[in-house]
Amino acid sequence: MLWTKHIGIFLTLHCISYTMNTNTLQNNPKPFSNPVLIYGSSFGNYFQMLYKTGKYEDMIRFTSSKSINSFGSKAILELYEKMSFGYELKLKSKSDNKDGSVTLNYYTFIIATKSVLRLNVIVENDSTKLIIASLIQNNPF
């Protein structure tokens, strides 16, 4: 009898959770438009996950059109395939820039060295996209 009470509580909580998740998805139909929060993570962490899983073509989809027009998608794809981006990232702050872009400041730990990585992003077509500063493998951001 006690376990049926627990099942009832579990089912009630599950229904509430499902309803809340459904409402959240309906209220935010553009999950990639907020650079700080993309499916519970930040843009940098999401972009890094694409890198770690070898989804370089998807990384191109999250690259700004200005960067693609400046450097070309083939050159950027080669950059993504060769760069080192598998280190620890932790979002510390964000800054809104006058030109409409956003700077995401990450704490990094690369080869036993603490540093700050700044990713400049912009929202294009309801998706956050990375702005590439150069094609230098060590620091394209």
**Token pair of 83, please?**
């760069």
Residue 84's contacts (CB-CB under 8 Å, 6 or more residues apart) are 137, 138
- Domain residue extents for the chain: 1-30, 34-130
Buried b (16+ CB within 10 A) or exposed e, 113-136: eeeebebbbbbeeebbbbbbeebe
Class at the top of the CATH hierarchy for domain 34-130: alpha beta
How confident is the prediction for the chain on average, in pLDDT?
80
**What does the alpha-carbon distance between residue 124 and residue 15 come to, in Å, rounded to a whole number?**
35
Cβ burial, residue 100 (10 Å; 0-12/13-18/19+): exposed
User: Which tens digit of pLDDT belongs to each residue from 18-72?
Assistant: 444 444 444 555 666 666 676 778 899 999 999 999 999 999 999 999 999 999 9
Closest C-alpha to 47, from 62, 67, 69: 62
**Token pair of 10, please?**
């579990």
Cβ burial, residue 11 (10 Å; 0-12/13-18/19+): exposed
User: Which tens digit of pLDDT belongs to each residue from 86-102?
Assistant: 899 999 999 999 999 99
